[in-house]
Amino acid sequence: MASHRCFCTTKLVLLHFVLLLLLQLSAAARSDGDNDGAPCGFPAIFNFGDSNSDTGGLSALLEAVPPPFGRTYFGMPAGRFSDGRLTIDFMAQSLGIRYLSAYLDSVGSNFTQGANFATAAASIRPANGSISVSGISPISLDVQTSEFEQFINRSQFVYNNIGGIYREILPKAEYFSRALYTFDIGQNDLTMGYFANMSTEQVEAYIPDLMERFTAAVQRVYRLGGRYFWVHNTAPLGCLPYAVVLRPDIAAPKDEAGCSVAYNAAARSFNVRLRETVARLRAALPDAAVTYVDVYSAKYRLVSQAKKLVRCWLAGFGDPLLVCCGYGGGEYNFDRDIRCGGRAEVNGTSVLVGKSCEDPSRSVSWDGVHFTEAANKFVFDQIVGGELSDPPVPLSQACHPGTGR
């Protein structure tokens, strides 16, 4: 039985390689006689988003991410909501760009090759009230694009008028028009409604508003000189233990992968609208290249196949819904009050109770909300070649307007 499953997975992997090869061959064929298919040589990445791509923003702004976050790759907390690197880190690395410093981090940052405006708990819509009350970051997408506008103006002023060390930590003016602008936001807009006890109809009713605000953000970056956009859609929320635990009524019924049908349907509605929105932006901004990336499918593939991958993959994955760094055991090992890194008073001393599992590289879910580094790497491997993108361009070639018409 096990070997049969292994065989199937091997076949899947082979098929994947054949598809990849065909895709590359067809890309090569298309590129004959024009520029399509040439690497773009992006000199920088400017990223906007939430905790899925925050490399230290919320940590710099409010409270630092505690241990054991960061343990796998950085050996200490690194402002990231994972045990190690995020998908955005693997993207930067593959483009020869240093890991992005958070714009809000004033200590030790280097913005030569870009900046990260993403901040955990951020939403597309402006936040109402304090983060400790609403759970939503004040650094929503509109604030992130304002920060970006200031960043351009001030970095150029300092680069030109002060110079010195600043020329080693700020981008050249010409980088802004040649950079890749990446977006990964929307998950908190969905959970915000659900966690305020809204129904799926109520949540879906405000998706058009999210799309208008998202459009405005991309257009603002465009007006400021950005041309190459790479937009991640939202994850299968119903496969994330925190969402499942916090709204048990929405969590049932489940599909074969153990994910909530209703949550995932809402995420897919968001994604259908996002894909249309990206298509409209592409039409409205003809000299821009706007790529829609189906991260949902990469993540769903991982969750639904994780167990099958176990025997065939080098370091296979265990139960994808079982939280590595959590507390309380049970089906998910997720406790809404004692999260990863959480501490409790035991006999008068504070002790770490939200502990990491032994080997995070075998888990998909790091803390019930975010993926492990190993899972993020899997997602990166799925999206880097362009198979899950519209148009189907690889990351390194996402600067060619109109490809895949």
The binder of ligand NAG chosen from 10, 130, 150, 177 (CB under 6 A): 150
Size of the site for ligand NAG (CB under 6 A): 18
Helix axes 295-309, 261-284, angle to 10 degrees: 140
**Is residue 144 near ligand NAG by the rule CB under 6 A?**
no
* Catalytic residue (choose from 50, 83, 294, 367): 367
Collapsing DSSP to helix, strand or coil, 87 comes out as: helix
**Is residue 125 near ligand NAG by the rule CB under 6 A?**
yes
CB contact burial 374-384 (16+ within 10 A = b; e otherwise)? bbbbbbbebbb
Alpha-carbon Rg for the chain, nearest whole angstrom, is: 21
**Is residue 94 near ligand NAG by the rule CB under 6 A?**
no
The binder of ligand NAG chosen from 123, 137, 233, 363 (CB under 6 A): 123
Collapsing DSSP to helix, strand or coil, 46 comes out as: strand
Structure tokens at 171: 């981008």
CB 280 within 8 A of CB 286: no
Query: Candidates 31-39, 146-154, 234-242, 381-389 — which segment interacts with ligand NAG by CB under 6 A?
Result: 146-154
The binder of ligand NAG chosen from 14, 64, 196, 205 (CB under 6 A): 196
Structure tokens at 252: 């049932």
1 versus 346: smaller Cβ distance to ligand NAG: 346
Cα separation, 352 vs 62, in Å, equals: 21
Query: Candidates 122-130, 258-266, 285-293, 367-375 — which segment interacts with ligand NAG by CB under 6 A?
Result: 122-130
* Catalytic residue (choose from 260, 370, 389, 390): 370
The binder of ligand NAG chosen from 169, 312, 338, 352 (CB under 6 A): 169
Select from 318, 200, 180 the least CA-distant residue to 263: 200
| Distances 147 to 143, 159, 178 between C-alpha atoms, Å | 6, 17, 19
The binder of ligand NAG chosen from 106, 132, 161, 347 (CB under 6 A): 347
**Is residue 337 near ligand NAG by the rule CB under 6 A?**
no
CB 118 within 8 A of CB 144: yes
Query: Candidates 25-33, 45-53, 192-200, 394-402 — which segment interacts with ligand NAG by CB under 6 A?
Result: 192-200
CB 83 within 8 A of CB 360: yes
**Is residue 155 near ligand NAG by the rule CB under 6 A?**
no
Cα separation, 365 vs 83, in Å, equals: 10
Cα separation, 110 vs 91, in Å, equals: 17
Whether 83 is a known active-site residue: answer: no
**Is residue 174 near ligand NAG by the rule CB under 6 A?**
no
Structure tokens at 154: 């001030």
> In whole angstroms, how close is the CB of 62 to ligand NAG at the nearest point?
18
AA identity, residue 9: T
The binder of ligand NAG chosen from 52, 112, 144, 365 (CB under 6 A): 112
**Is residue 93 near ligand NAG by the rule CB under 6 A?**
no
Contacts of 3 (CB under 8 A, 6+ apart): none
Please list the alpha-helical segments (H only) found in 67-140.
87-94, 131-134
Query: Candidates 189-197, 261-269, 297-305, 393-401 — which segment interacts with ligand NAG by CB under 6 A?
Result: 189-197
**Is residue 113 near ligand NAG by the rule CB under 6 A?**
yes
Preceding omega of 253 cis (within 30 degrees of 0): yes
**Is residue 160 near ligand NAG by the rule CB under 6 A?**
no
Query: Candidates 31-39, 55-63, 147-155, 359-367 — which segment interacts with ligand NAG by CB under 6 A?
Result: 147-155
* Catalytic residue (choose from 36, 50, 51, 101): 51
Query: Candidates 39-47, 69-77, 109-117, 174-182 — which segment interacts with ligand NAG by CB under 6 A?
Result: 109-117
Structure tokens at 174: 């010409």
> Helices (H) and strands (E) in the chain — how many of each?
14, 8
> In whole angstroms, how close is the CB of 129 to ligand NAG at the nearest point?
8
> In whole angstroms, how close is the CB of 235 to ligand NAG at the nearest point?
19
170 versus 375: smaller Cβ distance to ligand NAG: 170
Whether 367 is a known active-site residue: answer: yes
DSSP secondary structure of 313-326:
STT----TTS-SSB
> In whole angstroms, how close is the CB of 145 to ligand NAG at the nearest point?
10
Look at phi and psi of residue 386 and say left if phi exceeds 0, alpha if psi is from -120 to 50, else beta. left
Residues near ligand NAG (CB under 6 A):
98, 110, 112-113, 123, 125, 127-128, 149-150, 153, 168-169, 192, 196-197, 346-347
- Positions annotated as catalytic residues are 51, 367, 370
